Structure 1
Amino acid sequence: MTRSPPYALPLMLACLLLAGCNTPGPGFRGIDPQRVSIGKSTFDVRVDPLGARAQAIRVNPEWAPRRQSVEQRAVAAIEQVSGCRVAHLDGDQVVLVARLACASARARKAPRSSPADASQPLEYDCKLAPQGEGRARMTCTPLN
């Protein structure tokens, strides 16, 4: 009988755990994400069919990001995809869930549904300019 090396089990467990890193929460399963890059962060953003909530999952590696800096970029990504203002945000540096405030259903952007659009992720180059008192101005330029 052959024995597997001592690192085989931890390696296998790590692979299984990492396989679920980009799995949406229960309210967002089955919704195709739109990938948006804001500054140093790239998010998969899903908006629920009613347009009341959205989820942003950061999919790129960042070394020890502060929640505050990731939160600002996640809000920009969610607002860009949903066309609505973020009224409330919960989560951590990786998964953030927003409650949306839309002026009307008509004001909300229709999600991209054609296969041609879905294969082309949204990408933006965004610059943050601190304005003082915890505020910042973000300017984004579409890359595609």
Structure 2
Amino acid sequence: MKRLTAAMVMALVGCDAPGPEFRDTPATRIHIGKSSFDIRVKGTRAEAIRLNTEYAPRLAAVAPRGVYAIEKVSGCRVRRIEGDAAVMRAWLDCGGRLEPLPRAFEFECSIDVVYESFADLTCEPI
């Protein structure tokens, strides 16, 4: 029984654990639509960990919100993204800057107007 309990605790602890590259990087929490992410930015790389549960998520469904979250927090454009619906890693284009802009620790965002494949995003630090 002790082994089962220890395994369950370790599995839960790893739910929001960053990858090795972002281990010592503080997270910024951001809420976009129905998704919540912890974003960690280090240099021109970023990691987005989705915190909420969603029924049968696919990367294609979650990635647009993840990209918006990373861009809002970092102040840089996402050049490339990989991963899955739970953890996304991005390469950033910061317009020649080696470091992203300074950031707040938590944002609340809303999607205002949705076009065919684009949306207006409004974010406020909280």
Do Structure 1 and Structure 2 share a fold, with TM-score over 0.5? Answer: yes
CA contact (8 A) 1:83 1:107 kept: no
The answer to which structure has the higher strand fraction is 2
Match of 1:95 among 65, 87, 92: 87
Identity of aligned residues (%): 37
SS in 1 for 2:54: coil
Count of matched residue positions in the alignment of Structure 1 and Structure 2: 126
RMSD between aligned residues: 2.3
- 1:88-134: per-residue Cα shift (whole Å, max 9, x none)? 0000011000000111328831245xxxxxxxx422232264433xx
What is the TM-score normalised by the length of structure 2?
Answer: 0.85
- Give how far 1:66 is off: 2.4
Structure number with larger C-alpha Rg: 1
Match of 1:109 among 98, 101, 120: 101
- Ranked by relative contact order (alpha carbons within 8 Å, sequence separation 6 or more), the top structure is 2
Does the C-alpha gap of structure 1 residues 100 and 20 become closer, same or farther in structure 2, counting only changes over 3 Å? same
Aligned to 2:36: 42
Which contiguous aligned blocks of 4+ residues in structure 1 show a shift greater than 3 angstroms? 8-12
Distance 2:20 2:3 in 1: 29
**Which blocks of at least 5 consecutive residues in structure 1 are unaligned?**
113-120
**Which blocks of at least 5 consecutive residues in structure 2 are unaligned?**
none
Question: Which amino acid in 2 is paired with 1:24?
Answer: P
- Give how far 1:42 is off: 0.7
Distance 1:128 1:10 in 2: 46
Distance 1:106 1:26 in 2: 20
Aligned to 1:61: 53
What is the TM-score normalised by the length of structure 1?
Answer: 0.76
